[in-house]
Structure 1
Amino acid sequence: MPAAVWVLLAILLIAALVVAAGASRLHRLSRRVGSFTCNARARGNPATAFTLGVAHYAVGRIEWYRCWSLSLRPARTWVRDRLTVTGRVPLDQAGQPDQYLVTCRYDDVDFELSMSTAAYAGLASWLEAAPPGRRDLVL
């Protein structure tokens, strides 16, 4: 076989392995107990697209992972004591039933999350279950 065929086969094999690793990572993240689909974007520019992601409740924090990444580390981590929900809007009128646009503040940085109604209920409960003196995290 010519060398060009071997190079092409090697490139195809590497591409298949990368796709398989990414799919495996996403499957593992979404199947963990305490995980939910949660898209994020910076606040201020509504034309900015959401970044697809999966969030996971950890001890005292939420870890957020990008969907299309091979990294095993979270892209963002929000500690419960420093995260505040400042508002929420149902996205029914935007053609997305059972979805909320949740505005949050973390260390004086505003951002938005898009999540299901059930995921928002879990987030609000998790924030309200904070230790005494820090239960003002949901407005």
Structure 2
Amino acid sequence: MAWWEWLLDVSGIVLLLLLAFGIGLVVRRRVLARHGGTFELSHRLTADEGGRGWVLGMGRYSGEKLEWFRIFTLSPRPKRVWERDQLSYDGRREPIGAEQASLYPDHVVIRCASRAGDVELAMSPASLTGFQAWLEAKPPGSDWNSR
């Protein structure tokens, strides 16, 4: 077999693998979103460097939990999970510098406090309204464990 035939075979296999990966991402997103409550949600994994550390993802409300899934993975499990009673909203700001290119357009950056430390998330203003409503929907008097 000539070298160019090997090159064509390898190119064909790579294209098939890329196509299968793309189809897998679409199917995964559909499966995760089938029960509703999903939205575009980015999470800042490292806050050491200004504007860096953002990872695009998708959020899903699951009862008392907010689950965060990375966009470009085939894993059906959430990468991060936050309990509603362990989060408190600390404020919002507009993306600055490199964050504008790293995040979805028109998203705002929010800061939340949790028992594990500060959490930075980015979402659309409409999703932020839903997030705040979800946080405030805690049953009355349910914060007695946090003292």
TM over 0.5: yes
> Of 96, 113, 118, which residue of structure 2 is paired with 1:105?
113
1:24, distance to aligned residue in structure 2 (A): 2.6
Q: In the alignment, is the contact (CA less than 8 A) between 1:36 and 1:55 conserved in 2?
A: yes
Calculate the TM-score normalised by the size of structure 1: 0.79
SS where residue 62 of structure 1 aligns?
A: strand
1:49, distance to aligned residue in structure 2 (A): 3.7
Counterpart position of 1:63: 67
Calculate the TM-score normalised by the size of structure 2: 0.75
- Does 1:22 find its partner at 2:30? no
Superposition RMSD in Å: 2.9
Aligned residue identity for 1:73 = R
Counterpart position of 1:77: 81
Q: In the alignment, is the contact (CA less than 8 A) between 2:32 and 2:76 conserved in 1?
A: no
Q: In the alignment, is the contact (CA less than 8 A) between 2:95 and 2:109 conserved in 1?
A: no
Aligned residue identity for 2:25 = G
Counterpart position of 1:51: 55
Q: State the aligned residue count.
A: 135
Query: Quick one: percent identity of the two aligned structures?
Result: 33
Cα distance change of structure 1 residues 34 and 16 upon mapping to structure 2, 3 Å threshold:
same
SS where residue 77 of structure 2 aligns?
A: coil
- Does 1:122 find its partner at 2:130? yes
Q: Which runs of 5+ in 2 are unaligned?
A: none
- How many Å separate the matches in 1 of 2:80 and 2:119? 12
1:87, distance to aligned residue in structure 2 (A): 1.6
Aligned residue identity for 1:99 = H
How far does the alpha carbon of each residue in 1:77-110 deviate from its partner, in whole angstroms, 9 at most, with x for none? 1111111212212x28877985321001222311
Q: In the alignment, is the contact (CA less than 8 A) between 1:63 and 1:76 conserved in 2?
A: yes
Cα distance change of structure 1 residues 80 and 39 upon mapping to structure 2, 3 Å threshold:
same
Q: Which runs of 5+ in 1 are unaligned?
A: none
> Of 28, 40, 43, which residue of structure 2 is paired with 1:40?
43
SS where residue 121 of structure 1 aligns?
A: helix
1:27, distance to aligned residue in structure 2 (A): 4.4
